[in-house]
Amino acid sequence: MNYQFTIIVPVYNEEDNLLRVEEELLAYAKIATKKTKILLVNDGSKDNSQELIEAICSRNPEFTFINFKENRGLSAAIKAGFDFTDTPLVGYIDSDLQTTPTDFNILLQHIGEYDLVTGVRSNRKDSFVKNMSSTIANGIRRTFTHDGMDDTGCPLKVIKTDYAKRIPMFKGLHRFLPAMILLQHGKIIQVPVQHFPRIAGEAKFGLWNRLLGPLVDCFAYIWMKKKYINYEIDSRS
């Protein structure tokens, strides 16, 4: 089908959202500026998510899935999506659809010049506690990484696939995607996108893992930055 863009959708206990995921991503595929397919990554859901995923994929050729044997976390789901992507561009969106897939077209406008384009959630429709903890976590991360990004937790990103596949795996990866592209001497940019309240399902991150998690992961990032192997070929025979 000559697809150019793969959208990864991590799923964990999102049975109440999946039919809306199908509807909205199918609608986006019809207006996408790049020919698009969707990869649902079921992160060991314990509800009926997998049954719904299989039904969605059976009736829509644009959809495929990966099903984990057990829950491994958001970073593992995203990394698996990168590993199985075979298009030049890859992106991801959360299955709660608090961001809209139509905004991928805004991000795709910039991907020619840049290697990662990330959304920044405008007028966030979350609670005060959630917004404040996110602001603090982003401040902690920027202090360590100097990536200049205001909202790396925004679940709307587009990356050139060859860069995405070179990102090393560790838990908390999803918070450091821009920094990981910078380690490869890639170019990154942030672009405002829309944000909406969660309609169904439950949030998977609380105050504890929004604040402590990023702080611990920053030390892992500093270690990785010192050990990261990066080279450019000048010539070969």
- 60-114 pLDDT, tens digit per residue, is 999 999 999 999 999 899 999 999 999 999 999 999 999 999 999 999 999 999 9
Return the percentage of the chain with pLDDT > 90, whole number.
57
Does residue 143 have a pLDDT over 80? no
Predicted TM-score of the model (pTM): 0.82
Mean pLDDT of 220-226: 76
Confidence of residue 139 (pLDDT cuts 50, 70, 90): low
Cβ neighbours of 83 (radius 10 Å) = 11
Mean local confidence (pLDDT), 115-131 = 73
Six token digits for residue 12? 């964990």
pLDDT-derived band at 162 (thresholds 50, 70, 90) equals very high
Q: Which residue would you say has higher pLDDT here, 25 or 167?
A: 25
- Which CATH number among 3.30.450.20, 3.90.550.10, 3.40.50.150, 3.30.230.10 corresponds to the domain 5-227? 3.90.550.10
Strands 156-160 and 63-67, by their bridges, are unpaired
- 213 confidence band (pLDDT: 50, 70, 90): low
Percent above pLDDT 70 for the chain: 81
Largest CA distance in the chain: 59
Give mean pLDDT, residues 161-179: 86
Query: Minimal CA–CA distance to 34: which of 54, 9, 62?
Result: 62
In tens, the pLDDT along 175-203 reads 889 988 998 999 999 999 988 766 665 65
